[in-house]
Structure 1
Amino acid sequence: MENENNTTLSEQKTESPKEDSLLPIFEKGLFFHDSYFEDIRKHFETAIDQILDTWGEATSVSDLMSSYRRIRERNLQQENQVMAFSEDDQNHKVVLDVHDFKSGDVKVRVEDNQVVVEGRVEKEEDEFKSMKSFCRRFNFPGKVAMEGVTSAMSSDGVLTIAAPKIPQAA
């Protein structure tokens, strides 16, 4: 799976997406408890472990998300945003942590055979205002039914995108 990372955490002027290309994001329960996310959970945990290893953070399985969230609080850079991929016979899946942007605006859209995920959040503390944003584009190998792409977000801010494969003729 090819991933074009176009993530920035500074102010960025972007064209507004076509409203008809925006996908609905279905609300689900907690990522580690809702059965909807069961098939992608291990991939997500592995991606968290890689980030924790990079930062030299030791953790227990029960403290996995807490340790990861502490790293994100200190450093909201692209390389610290958990992202994982999986595929089976029917779908490609992308799972992406968007917890830090859940209180703002998260959008998923299909654009030119790509899935685009954008997040933006503005915060005000005392007299200061800050804006953080990201944009990630995903290309999937093989033929994908882009009109069938779906997205769901867990109540704790983990976004999952499923892109159905088009069966190859034998």
Structure 2
Amino acid sequence: MALVPRSVFRNWWDDMDRWHRDVEEHFRELRICNDRWSPLPSFRDKFRPWRDIFDNLDRQVGGGATIEQNDDKYQVIVDVQQFTPEEITVRTDDRCITIEGKHAQRKDKHGYISRQFVRRYLLPKGYDIGHVKPSLSSDGILTITAPRLVLPPPGERILPITRTWRPAIKAA
């Protein structure tokens, strides 16, 4: 004797097909409006994707960042026009470039606003973190440039020998 009778699951595939047909019929009815065909409604029209929300937020607060990388340099371009030069800090550590912008609460045409952002970029290998140069344009575009590491040319080279003028082995 089975715990669940066979008749319960006998037509499950037919039930799924019926459900799909009902959904398709529902959307078909939505397409026909005023005796003319309109495009199928999409979820993109009904719901705003989260990605767009974060992109818009990104543009508002320290956003609009672009990264350009070529054989000569690695460049980060950030729109920081909402901040004064005194409110922007660019720091480097072993392998990262960190950009911070912060201003206290101030009055604008809509009321009071305060902004803050932190962006951190991992510098790819082959670029010189020691020679990173930030520059801020008059229209509020921060450009941070890291040059390519200067590597010695491959091939044979003669290395100078340094004399220490001390014995390497100490006598006991």
Structure-1-length-normalised TM-score: 0.49
Q: TM-score, normalised by structure 2?
A: 0.48
Q: Which has the higher contact order (CA 8 A, sep 6+)?
A: 1
